[in-house]
Amino acid sequence: MSDKKILLAFYSGAGSTRTVAEVLQIRLQDCGYKIDLLDIDVETDTGNIEQYDFLIIGTPTHHCYPPKTISEFVDKIAYQPEPKNIFLFATYGLYVGNNLRMIAKSLLGKNIRTVGFAGFRSPAADASLMFPTFIKMMYKYESNIKDKIINTVAEIDRLIQTGNPKVKIPFYKWYAPLDWFPNKFYTARKFDRDFIPNIRLVSDRWNGEEIDCPRNCWEMVDNKPKYRKDNCEFCLRCVHRTPNKAVIYSADMQDRQRLGIEFFNQLKKELL
């Protein structure tokens, strides 16, 4: 068992990033490491990062950019008196864009050095509810993900054992500016205008459970969950993980397949 303290922090909406993080944790434990898993949300404290010898952060990709929750988490991290090394990974539906590059550059200003990174094409929380159902890639991890995870674990192990690995900032993705109009301008604006304001509870489907939201967008009012859009970033956790498809944002998607807890538990078994 290694004596190095390692933190694996992740933010996940429906569960794609969470699943990869949990598989990485198990595989790294098999290598003899003790891994502390941290599920990032809007209230996560960053004050104990200083005690760790190596960091890993996992993030979804929102329109080729870091999610708001990850950006806020990084902003809260204090400047580290001693340099720290970190490995970054992202899940994405179509493109990772400059997501990891932006995070790596922000962390460098905190004296946290990105020494490795990886991307995993994963089930897409938004596209799985909007694209035609015959596009099966929106419900699956990429075909070679088991090999990529094995290689990622080997790379993280090597980096931890290396005394002073080189900083490795992800290269700038040339396609990101081309993606700006269709993705950031059109799609993200459509989410903000048409989808986020219309997230709602279907009362006759709700079984009484509290709705899980990493940004505290749901509160109990008169014994029923009430949605507040102000802090929402459309991570879709409430839509995918609430039982009985009780949360929707449009009539068109209300009966579509959800990427819920059982869905990802099955994929986790397959990855292991």
Q: Which amino acid is at 101?
A: R
In terms of CATH, what superfamily is 5-175+264-271? Answer: Flavodoxin domain (3.40.50.360)
Residues of the chain with CATH 3.40.50.360: 5-175+264-271
Query: At 173, is the pLDDT very low, low, confident or very high (cuts 50, 70, 90)?
Result: confident
Mean pLDDT of 112-123: 98
CB atoms within 10 A of CB 255: 9
CATH 3.30.70.20 spans which residues of the chain?
191-260
Return the pLDDT at 158: 96
pTM recorded for the entire structure: 0.95
Write out the two tokens for 133.
Answer: 């159902």
**Topology (CATH) of 191-260:** Alpha-Beta Plaits (3.30.70)
Q: Helix, strand, or coil here: 175?
A: coil
pLDDT in tens, 130-170: 999 898 989 999 999 999 999 999 999 999 998 789 999 99
Instruction: Say how many CA atoms lie within 13 Å of 124 toward its Cβ.
Output: 23
Reported as a single tens digit per residue, the pLDDT across 80-99 is 999 999 999 999 998 899 99
Q: How many alpha carbons lie under 13 Å from residue 79 in its C-beta half-sphere?
A: 2
Q: Which of 87, 83, 85 is CA-nearest to residue 156?
A: 87
